[in-house]
Homo-oligomer: A and B are copies of this chain.
Amino acid sequence: MNEHELDTPCVTVDMAVLEANIRRMAGLVGATGARLRPHIKTHKTPEIAHMQLRNGSAGLTVAKLGEAEVMADAGFDDIFIANELVGPTKLRRLVGLSRRISVRSCVDSIAGASMLSEAAVAHELMFEVLLDINTGLDRTGVAPKEARGFARSISALPGIRLVGVFSYAGYRPATPSPEERERWARREAETAVRVADELRRDGVHVSEISVAGTATAPFAATVPGVTEVRPGTYVFNDIGYARLGLCDPSQCALTIKTTVVSRPSRDRAVIDAGSKVLALDKRVVCGREPGYGFIKQWPAARIEALWEEHGVIRVTADGPGPGVGDVLDVIPNHVCPTVNLADRWYGIKAGVVDGEFTILGRGKSR
């Protein structure tokens, strides 16, 4: 089937671009002393995880236990859950999963660590955990200056073994320059290494220092001591990252195909993809409001509003703009939530549909 025959809206992935993106990151990280443990929350698709593993990845990162279960079912046996697991059902599920595969998770509270400890003891297991430190994102994680005290306070808990330091600092630059990106990456990585050194002085066997994402991974991987980096978005890229200079729009593998269903006025076109397809993520970058995606065929047009099932395009071109029935390709602002709204994506090779892939991790937020 030709890609233009696909019913819309739908998710398509240029397989050549996807493969090039996977190889590029593998090459960048492979040239350093660190390993690549890609975050699968971007694609949630076992087939892509397998491509990443074939290209030198050392295990997977996931955000949720449910994603880990999907990937374990697909044959992956080394998974890091980059999150705190809290609550009795979660712990029951972690017990089950840890009997099948090698799995690690994070701790940043005495309460959370105690729950893990109790579950491990009750089931005669040993849970390996990474200490989550806050390197500036202000999400989860203990403050670096409190890491040593925290590690001491959980050191007596049976059933859990502290094996590493975990951090994610994100990337919110003031300017989209490579220098700022490197500074950002180094600041996070060096903080994690410093905390690890402090823990080691207290006798903790820190074997893992796990940091960074797509924007920072190639730099962070070069920092001595860092053992692994966890980029995710690089497989697809998106227009938010392109605006940061992290990629060219031609390196964005994923597009939403959408049909123009209405041309109610000269300057307005309406597509059949709204917030239930593209997601509402504006990803305002360096003060610029890019609208809700980038239309490949009409780069000057702006998706200025998303309703649930409609996207409203402000047509600024001199020409007539897209007509009713035209199929457009939209690169999303932030590809991760967009993928999570779809059940499947279509692989495209040279304009032809070459495979349909189920997003098995979609909606696995538990």
Contacts and interface: CB of A to CB of B under 8 A. Distances in A.
Contacts of A274: 365
A63 interface: yes
Given A273-B365, A276-B340, A365-B273, A309 B83 contact: yes
Interface of A: 5-10, 41, 63-64, 83-90, 93, 108-109, 111-112, 115, 132, 134, 138-143, 259-265, 268, 270, 272-277, 279-281, 305, 307-310, 312, 323-325, 327, 336-337, 340-343, 363, 365-366
Given A261-B112, A309-B64, A270 B89 contact: no
Nearest to A113: B324
B9 A261 contact: no
A330 B46 CA distance: 32
Given A7-B366, A363-B341, A363-B343, A281 B277 contact: no
Given A63-B309, A308-B336, A309-B365, A108 B262 contact: yes
A104 to B, nearest CB: 16
Contacts of A10: 366
B261 A337 contact: no
A248 to B, nearest CB: 25
A261 B141 CA distance: 11
B365 A7 contact: no
Nearest to A111: B324
Nearest to A281: B280
Closest 4 pairs (CB-CB, A-B): A7-B89, A111-B324, A140-B262, A84-B261
Given A41-B308, A109-B324, A140-B310, A365 B261 contact: no
A312 B138 contact: yes
B262 A325 contact: no
Contact of A365 (B87, B276, B281): B276
A325 B108 contact: no
Contact of A276 (B7, B132, B140, B337): B337
Contact of A86 (B41, B276, B324): B324
A240 to B, nearest CB: 13
